[in-house]
Amino acid sequence: MHITRTKVALAVGVLLASAAASTSASASPARPDHGCTPSWQLVDTPPKRQNISELSGVDALSSKDVRIAGFEGVTGQSRLTRWDGRAITDTTQIPAMSVLPMGTSGPSYSSASEGWTFTSTGRVQTVQRWHDGRWAMMPLPVAPDPVHTTLYLSDVDPLSATDAWAVGGTYQAGAEIVGNTIPLGALVEHWDGSSWQIVPNPAADAPDTVLSAVAARSATDIWAVGYQAVGSGYGTFTEHYDGTSWTVVASPEGTGRSSFRDVSVGADGAVYAVGSQLLAGSATDAAPLAARWDGDAWQVMDLPDLGNGRMNKVYAANASSVWVIVEVPDGAHTFAHWDGSAWAMVEAPGPKGLGLRYYYAAIDGTGPNDVWAVGSVTDNSVVDLVDPQVSHLSCGRK
């Protein structure tokens, strides 16, 4: 966040602190449950240690155990925190591996004692395992042709200590290629309790095809979504694992160029995928895209007219309560909620003065009345100052 005057920075801090302390920040359209009408609240985070502090992942294991990941400073060193039912505090950290800029994505846990997260420095990616009360780097498979290809994972979802799935893409590599910009096929990897292994999938050799997210309901019901080449553009792409093999499942075309960015499976088995499609009447602008699995096929969902934007992350509690992080034209984020019959837009909590913008990177929960969204807040002015942001949908602090 860029701030031109010290007194403005102080005002921002006061606003954020007062907002975090407030008891109700934004009403929600979630259905009342036994007299409960949940609302979004800001939750205090531990004092940041550097000017830039952002949150990038959240995994809600229970109402009293929510794991949050983020990074701080220009080097992007990871910082892990945990909600224990009363407050968010620092927890066991991932060992620092480099003074170079490092990104952290995840985390994803199968239990309080077992989980995974990715870290990356430039084009070098590592996976960290939470096990026996500590984080440890685990080896990943090497690309079959490491001189000309590289592997990169986008998401991981563990079912147990001996069963975890990760998805991403295989990319062309070489001294003249900058970043992972030329996809060569979809990538699926599996952890069996002792090592990660590449698993065959039907799109492994499909150019311009990548899997962006994975959601595992059980060992025989796993979904992965992303995008694939369609003519001169690209379209949504989905695969499903039935316990034996991965298969391609026909996915909705959307309008023009489209892709899925995230997928979530509710406690009742309801499956929702979100992403973006081409905005009607535009050759370049994106519009939000949402689809649900009806048991036989994907169905595109009717959405409010949101204009230019996209849906980045989704959490499905069940078929009657689905929350989505929506990126709006100015780059900031808001929420959308599906109640089983209609979508409603819900403003992100927090003060709206001083040009503040809220950016949410992840969302998860334990049910319709216990949902967490994490990210950052900034006013995009002169001095780099970014604060972590945690929003909680509940019926009041337990």
Q: Considering the chain, what percentage of its residues have pLDDT values greater than 70?
A: 86
Looking at per-residue pLDDT, the higher value among 318 and 3 belongs to 318
pLDDT of residue 12: 35
pLDDT, greater one: 194 or 144? 194
pLDDT averaged over every residue in the chain:
86
Model confidence at 7, in pLDDT bands (50, 70, 90)?
Answer: very low
Q: What is the pLDDT of residues 247-302, one digit of tens each?
A: 999 998 888 889 999 999 999 999 999 999 988 778 788 999 999 999 999 999 99
State residue 256's pLDDT score.
Answer: 84
What pLDDT band is residue 8 in, cutting at 50, 70 and 90?
A: very low
Is the predicted pLDDT of residue 29 greater than 70, yes or no? no
- Residue 274 is predicted with a pLDDT of 98
Q: Can you give the pLDDT at residue 180?
A: 84
Higher pLDDT, 27 or 226: 226
Tokens 């949504």 — which residue? 236
Alpha-carbon span 377 to 390, nearest angstrom:
10
Average pLDDT over residues 345-363: 87
126-143: per-residue pLDDT in tens? 899 999 999 999 999 999
**Taking a C-beta distance cutoff of 8 angstroms, is the pair 55, 313 a contact?**
no
Residue 174 confidence (pLDDT) above 90: no
Q: What is the pLDDT of residue 4?
A: 21
Give percent above pLDDT 90 in the chain.
64
pLDDT in tens, 69-100: 998 877 678 889 999 999 999 999 888 765 44
Provide mean pLDDT across the span 186-214: 97
Q: Which amino acid is at 302?
A: D
- The predicted pLDDT at position 219 comes to 98
Check whether 328 has a pLDDT greater than 60: yes
Reported confidence tier of residue 28, pLDDT bands at 50, 70, 90: low
CA–CA separation, 219 and 25 (whole Å): 39
